[in-house]
Amino acid sequence: MPLQYIGAVLTALEAAQCLSSIVSDYQQVTEQQEIRRREITAWERTTFIGTAVSAYINYKEITEQEQTKRREIEAWEKTTIAKINAQREILIGYLNRSFDERAENFRALFNVVDRAIITGNNEELEVALHSITEIAKSSPFKELANLASVKAALDDPNHKWTF
């Protein structure tokens, strides 16, 4: 083979090797890019999953806190309503007793007035009318200003109600 052919073959061979090297380098770069793309996709997936999991955990914690607050509010509501109802019963009991006693006092005093008129006893009539006026002036509500004393009085069966 003549020399010029050998030079051409060598050049072609070098070109083929160079082309083979370029193809090999391209394949390596492409493989590295694919690996990098997979790594990025995995990282993105992990980051997204991590963020989603973190958000879910945060959501569950807030949900538990709010449920606890709701239970506390419900317990407070029940105790407050029970306390209001107890105070209501005390007040109703006080009013019933005080008005019953007032009615009884008025009946007794009007009986005294009737008897004084029949007997013509003006002194007795004057005292009875004065007592009726004083009872009518007083209010059974003035003692309610101090609810604690009313409650204590209601709890005491020997308490004497005076007006």
Summarize pLDDT for 58-68 with one digit per residue, the tens.
Answer: 888 999 999 99
Amino acid letter, residue 48: F
Answer yes or no: is pLDDT of 75 > 90.
Answer: yes
Residue-wise pLDDT tens digits, 85-100: 888 888 777 777 767 7
The token duo for 107 is 């009946």
Confidence of residue 73 (pLDDT cuts 50, 70, 90): very high
Answer yes or no: is pLDDT of 3 > 80.
Answer: no
Amino acid letter, residue 44: E
Strands (E), the chain: none
pTM: 0.41
Between 151 and 105, the more confident residue is 105
CA angle 95, 98, 104 (to 5 degrees): 135
Total number of residues shown for the chain: 163
Buried b (16+ CB within 10 A) or exposed e, 14-48: eeeeeeeeeeeeeeeeeeeeeeeeeeeeeeeeeee
Half-sphere exposure of 147 (CA within 13 A, CB side): 9
Please report where in the chains the tokens 């005076």 appear, as a residue: 162
